[in-house]
Structure 1
Amino acid sequence: MALSVCEEYRALVDKAYNKFSRLRDFPPYGQNKWDFYFRKAFQVYTKLWKFQQDNRQKLVEAGLKRWEIGEIASRIGQLYYIYYLRTSDATFVKESYIFYEAILSREYFKEPGKDITLANKQLRYFARFIVICLLLNRWDMVNRLVRQLHILVEDYSSSFQNSDVKEWKTVTQEIVRFLKADSLAELSRPIRYISALDGQVSSFPSVSKLEGHKALRLKNAVLVSYFHNEVKFSELTLDNFRMLQCLEWEPSGSFYRMKSATDSNAGGLLAQDIADPTLPANPHKYILYRPNIHQLLMVLATACEEVPPDSAVLLYLSAAGTRNFLASSTDSSPDRSDALLEETPVSAGSPRRRVDGSTGLSLGRRGSNVYPGDLLPFTRRPLFIIVDSDASNIFESLCGDERGEPVVLLLSPTAKPYTAKHPGAGSTFTFFLTAPLQALCQMTNVRVTELQQGSYEQAEKMVSSTLLELGNLLASSGSLNVAWGRVLGDPFLRQLLFRFVFARACYSLHRLYVGKSEYYPRCLPPLPEEVLPRSRVVELSVLQVARLLCVADQFIFSENGS
């Protein structure tokens, strides 16, 4: 007997939800089996979506609710987003946006009434949609969604008296704090790689002295971040958010254009919505928040195993040193607000205790500290390591003790002047590596909105040209270490290196930081003298940008005698 339309619909719903649930059982690493089941889930949801469209009238007459259609669309949006996390293909973020935006415009989740389950579905949808819009830099939509989420949480609080109310209020506080910390992003160029500004891949001069080695290409990146009470939304920390973007191509590619004076003043630059089909694939990224040490090592092992020869793996570690890490007495409890989207910041007055043990990096869980020795087995592959920590110096021991390939290290300062701290704004070092001009504005307390019209845009262009000039200096240097020479073959890795050179100069020349080695970033192997902070070209590059921002008096330059 043939199934009725309603029976066939319910069978498809059950099958789709089962496929979706199975995906949750797979670990967040490895590709083969997971990819097979993911495609199966896509096929079922595509069939379900088309079926309900073709039979909408009959299903509505049989009792289909609008929120049920919204639930299907939301699941498809989630599938696209998770697939983006797996593949780093930004196309899937845009596809996710299409479904989430349709839910909003068609009001599928409107008026949940007194049904707490539907109210939670609506809140989860808004929280997930905000993440998608953040990744796409759609700031107008982000602000709109945050306002609506705040209203919905207030309504939820007055309608339902349960344990979730406090956690949903925490979610709204997190996103407001996140947007406040990243407020300059609305006025600036995208963090992603833009060939028109950051240099054409093919135009960069080749490095002649590679001593028989081939240039490296970045294929995999492992991004790890955890600081007590750091800026985050759900499990996406501000530092990881910035880092993941700087390891991607701006989707508009060659269609990207600078913002003109006749455009809206909502942002300093404008990206076209047209995607550039000629762009290479993005490096694959594993994004980890507060992992235990076993998860981190497993992911790193997978990342190293997956890459082909002459490929590099980037490891970004952003965490406090265990010698200074203060953990709350509740640090082992589960993260409730993150569970809502499928951690509630501990208040400043919470009881704390000092974690014992030799110096490493704390990932926020007992027994999950990371030590330099943990990384040695992975140095059989080329590793590009960035450590943003007050204990970053301990990783210097990796150089010279590798197991096969020379490791390269970019290390943050281990301290900063008290007056130079910017609580609730993410790491300044990571900021320099991902958005150098924004970071310089933060370091010098520049209010971009108070600058002369056009000054910030001029500074953006100047920083871009400065970084390319520094890159040419490195490529032509006769004393460039071969480990760095191999890195210059990859656009993402060399851009991080150029920005490090600029950042180191800003730290070294700023009056608040002068004379204290612990205030300066470091790198291993050492870079040539041509790009040291006091070299003429490097010092002049900082001076020119500082003058545009009207903050040259905050630095000590030999060029102008100050």
Structure 2
Amino acid sequence: MRYYARFIIVCLLLNKDENVRQLISELEGLIEEYTKSFKPPDAKEWQMVLEEISTFTEAEKKLVPINLDRTPDKIEHRLSANIPERNIGSVCKLKLQEAILVGNYQKQIKFSELTLDMYRMLQSLEREPYVLHPSTTTKNTKSNDTNANESIAGSVKEEQSTTVATKSTGTNLGANTNPSNKRSNPHKYLLYRPSLSQLMVYISTAFKDTSDGSALLLYLSADGCAYPDQTVPGYGGGVVTNQRNKITTNADRATAANPSSNTAAGSATTSSVNVVPATAVSTTVAAASNNASSTAGSNVVASSTNAAAATTSAEPTVTTPSVHCLHPADLVPFTRKPLFLIVDSNNSTEFKNMPNVFDQPVMCLMSPIEYPSSVQDKSEIGSLFTLFLHTPLLGFCSVSDIGNLDQQKWDACVQKIAIMEKAIGDLLITDATVDKNVKRFMSDDFLYYFIVRFVLCGIFLRYHSSFKDERSFPSSFPSLPDSVYVSSEIVTMLGDLTAIADVGTYFSLPSYATTTGTTNIAITSTATIINPGSNASSINVAAPTVNVAPTPVNTNPISTSPTSIVTPMEIA
């Protein structure tokens, strides 16, 4: 059953949806047989594993409109392997080299230690494997071999990638053999509910590995923390990290009493690093042993005690910053190299004035801090802001309550979103008022689409009838010109999109944006253009909806590590 659970994760990362559906069905049968035959003490834990994957796949399925034949539409999730070059001008280009994806929400949809929002960002940072098209028949055999290697390797970068535990020798496995294709996927760390000390270690490691002319992406999905009376610059709030200052479960106590088990878990995680890149992900699974967590917990206790003492002696008008909070000032040392920050939190705007003291490119995309009551909660479909960055069309369907859409209209919507993205990108590149550092980030394909989709999200929400408060709109630092949000060209395209999907009542658009909808429907409904910046997967796994809280540390039968996705474990 543990092998089944791990293989489900592998299939999720590779978008093998048919395999996921089959594996879930077989795992359900195995768990039922296991429970009836042995009546084991961990039966509830295995039921929770089944509920988690069911909730995970159901959350994805809820967003996908259904065709007339009752089948889900096919969704494009990954970037195309062939994206045309953009003329950014005279600015120095950047390349996204390292990415850290953090899931620290107390309550979020997850399977094992892979949250739904982390999964979406992970897919958004992947490019479809490059496929060669030989011009002569004599090269067919060689090209087929090359394509097979690239499909396995996922067009993994050839540069040496470093993990905290060891050098990843699997990064070069089956590396792209086409010399003309210089684009590659960034190296990634997945951190599920890390403590502050763990998070800082991984940020430091990724920062060290980021070379000249490259950028580091930090994605934070976490609850916010704020201090209304705080006056210390840079420490007025931020996002919460995980607290491990005490042992709360029997499994924790048993693991702490037997440190040797931590070594085995760590070794297993290190070996799995070489497996993940070979499955077209090039992802480093960030794992931390319970022994290290216990040590970090002891330090946290001491820090908390010192902080409490400092609070007592400090001025009554100043609140002592939390030792479990990542503050904007904590990231200032890492702005010595280009840093691209995405904060999805109810206190995201705390990062809007992060100082740039080293004159390096720094940009922060911040989620809305409040959503209207009509918008679905993240416990049902994940974060709306992350969804827009992942696949804007699904975000549009979510806020417009689109549940049924025939294939012809769906294809027309896909094309219209692609045209809108290109128009937004062109406006940002040609606008002289846009910060030059923003344009530098736009020279990278992945960051380009994040910025464009961020603007697209802002346009959708600003013209949506339910979104009226500024707190419900995304924001950025440095800020982007308002002209891009009110561009008549883009707003007219939005009117066309609402007409195609027949959801015009959800949006309050200017009169000029609603007059050409009928004509554009006839034009776009027959188009077959696929969004080059959209991403590739068919989400069609049907499963019962069960919303569950994240599994407590060391109770998941799949893993003992708080930040590991595929670490094996022997059940006590």
Please report the TM-score for the alignment, with normalisation by the length of structure 2.
0.63
State the Cα deviation string for residues 198-233 of structure 1 (Å, max 9, x = none). Answer: x32x2x22234x3xxx11111001110121221010
Q: C-alpha displacement at 1:465, in angstroms?
A: 2.1
CA separation in 1, counterparts of 2:446 and 2:250?
33
* Aligned-pair CA distance for 1:370: 1.1
Partner of 2:510: 558
Q: Does the CA contact (< 8 Å) of 1:322 and 1:359 recur in 2?
A: no
Match among 417, 436, 448 for residue 494 of structure 1: 448
CA 1:332–1:508: 2 relative to 1, 3 Å:
farther
Q: Which residue of 2 aligns with 1:386?
A: 342
Deviates more, 1:183-192 or 1:467-476: 183-192
* Preserved CA contact (<8 Å) 1:437 1:459: yes
Q: Name the counterpart of 1:187.
A: 73
Taking the TM superposition and a 5 Å limit, the aligned residue runs for 1:110-189 are 123-183=1-61, 184=63, 187-189=73-75
Pairwise CA distance, 1:404:
4.0
Structure 1 residue corresponding to 2:475, chosen from 522, 530, 534 = 522
Listed one character per residue, the Cα deviations across residues 4-56 of structure 1 (whole Å, up to 9, x for unaligned) are xxxxxxxxxxxxxxxxxxxxxxxxxxxxxxxxxxxxxxxxxxxxxxxxxxxxx
Q: Closer, same or farther in 2 for the Cα pair 1:336/1:225, shift >3 Å?
A: farther
How far apart, in 1, do the equivalents of 2:464 and 2:247 lie?
A: 40
> Do the aligned residues in 1 keep the contact of 2:196 with 2:242 (CA within 8 Å)?
no
Deviation digits for residues 266-312 of structure 1, max 9, x if unmatched?
xxxxxx97977545321101110000111111111111111111211
Q: 1:141 to 1:418 in 2, by over 3 A?
A: same
Match of 1:291 in 2: 194
Q: 1:502–1:542: 8 Å Cα contact kept in structure 2?
A: no
Distance 1:331 1:322, change over 3 A: farther
Measure the CA separation in 2 of the matches of 1:156 and 1:360: 51
Report the Cα distance in structure 2 between the residues aligned to 1:320 and 1:462, rounded to whole angstroms.
34
CA distance 1:476–1:249, shift in 2 (3 Å): same
Query: Is 2:357 aligned against 1:402?
Result: yes
Partner SS for 2:401: coil
5 Å-filtered alignment, 1:35-434, equals 123-183=1-61, 184=63, 187-195=73-81, 199-200=83-84, 202=85, 204-208=86-90, 210=91, 214-251=92-129, 277=176, 278=178, 279=181, 280-323=183-226, 333=248, 367-398=323-354, 400-422=355-377, 423-434=379-390
Partner of 2:282: none
The count of corresponding residues between Structure 1 and Structure 2 is 394
Matching residue's letter, 1:172: L
1:405 Cα offset (Å): 1.8
Following the alignment from structure 1 to structure 2, what is the Cα–Cα distance between the partners of residues 458 and 284?
34
Secondary structure, aligned partner of 1:150:
helix
- Shift of the alpha carbon at 1:494? 0.5
Give the deviation of 1:334 after TM superposition: 6.1
How far apart, in 1, do the equivalents of 2:44 and 2:218 lie? 35
Unaligned runs of 5+ in 1: 1-122, 256-271, 343-355
Query: Counterpart amino acid of 1:291?
Result: P
Deviates more, 1:241-250 or 1:159-168: 159-168
Alpha-carbon offset, residue 453 of structure 1 = 3.2
Q: 501-510 or 421-430, which moves further after superposition?
A: 421-430
Task: Confirm or deny that 1:457 pairs with 2:416.
Answer: no
Alpha-carbon contact 1:409-1:523 (below 8 Å) kept = yes
Q: Is the 8 A contact 2:104 2:241 kept in 1?
A: no
Structure 1 residue 254 displacement after superposition: 6.9
Output the CA distance in 2 between the equivalents of 1:387 and 1:395: 8
Q: For residue 438 of structure 1, give the secondary structure of its aligned residue in structure 2.
A: helix
Range moving further from structure 2, 487-496 or 277-286: 277-286
Q: Secondary structure at the match of 2:380?
A: coil
Shift of the 506–152 alpha-carbon distance from structure 1 to 2, 3 Å rule, reads: same
Question: Deviation digits for residues 442-470 of structure 1, max 9, x if unmatched?
Answer: 111101xx223311122112211210121
Maintained 8 Å contact 2:194/2:241: no
Q: Report the aligned-residue RMSD.
A: 3.3
SS of the residue aligned with 1:322? strand
Structure 2 runs not aligned, ≥5 long: 65-71, 134-149, 156-175, 227-238, 253-261, 270-307, 312-317, 515-572
Partner of 1:472: 426
Q: Moved runs in structure 1, 4+ residues, more than 3 A?
A: 252-255, 272-279, 323-337, 339-342, 356-361, 400-404, 559-562
Paired residues of 2:102 and 2:192 also in contact (CA < 8 A): yes
How many angstroms apart in 2 are the aligned matches of 1:156 and 1:498? 49
Does the 8 A contact of 1:502 with 1:538 survive in 2?
no
Offset, 1:161? 3.0
Paired with 1:495 and 1:224, the residues of 2 have a C-alpha distance of: 20
CA contact (8 A) 1:431 1:439 kept: yes
TM-score, normalization: structure 1? 0.65
Q: Tell me the amino acid that sits aligned with residue 224 of structure 2.
A: G
Does 1:541 pair with 2:541?
no
Q: Is the 8 A contact 1:360 1:391 kept in 2?
A: no
Give me the whole-angstrom Cα distance separating, in 2, the residues matched to 1:179 and 1:454.
25
Which range is displaced more, 366-375 or 426-435?
366-375
SS in 2 for 1:143: helix
With over 3 angstroms needed to count, the CA separation of the structure-2 counterparts of 1:560 and 1:336, relative to structure 1, is farther
Please tell me whether the aligned partners of residues 413 and 522 of structure 1 are also in contact (alpha carbons under 8 angstroms).
Answer: yes
Partner Cα distance (1:559, 1:331) in 2: 60
In structure 1, how many angstroms separate the alpha carbons of the residues matched to 2:241 and 2:441? 36
| In 2, Cα distance between equivalents of 1:421 and 1:330 | 33
Tell me the equivalent position of 1:44: none
Whichever residue aligns with residue 494 of structure 2, its letter is V
Measured at CA, do residues 325 and 529 of structure 1 come closer, stay the same or move farther in structure 2, by a change above 3 Å? closer
The answer on 1:508 being equivalent to 2:508 is no
Matching residue's letter, 1:290: R
Structure number with higher relative contact order (C-alpha < 8 Å, ≥ 6 residues apart):
2
How far residue 538 of structure 1 moved from its aligned partner, in angstroms, is 2.5
Q: How far apart are 1:127 and its partner, in Å? A: 0.4
Q: Percent identity?
A: 33
- Match of 1:419, SS state, is coil
Q: 1:485 aligns with which of 422, 439, 446?
A: 439
Between the aligned partners of 2:478 and 2:244, the Cα distance in structure 1 is 40
Q: CA deviation at 1:367?
A: 4.5
CA gap of 1:242–1:172, structure 2 versus 1, over 3 A, is same
- Tell whether the 8 Å contact from 1:429 to 1:503 is kept in structure 2 after alignment: yes
Following superposition, the deviation at residue 175 of structure 1 comes to 0.2
- Seen in structure 2, the aligned counterparts of structure 1 residues 554 and 254 have a Cα distance that, compared at 3 Å, is farther
Note closer, same or farther for the CA distance 1:403–1:164 as it changes in structure 2 (3 Å cut).
farther
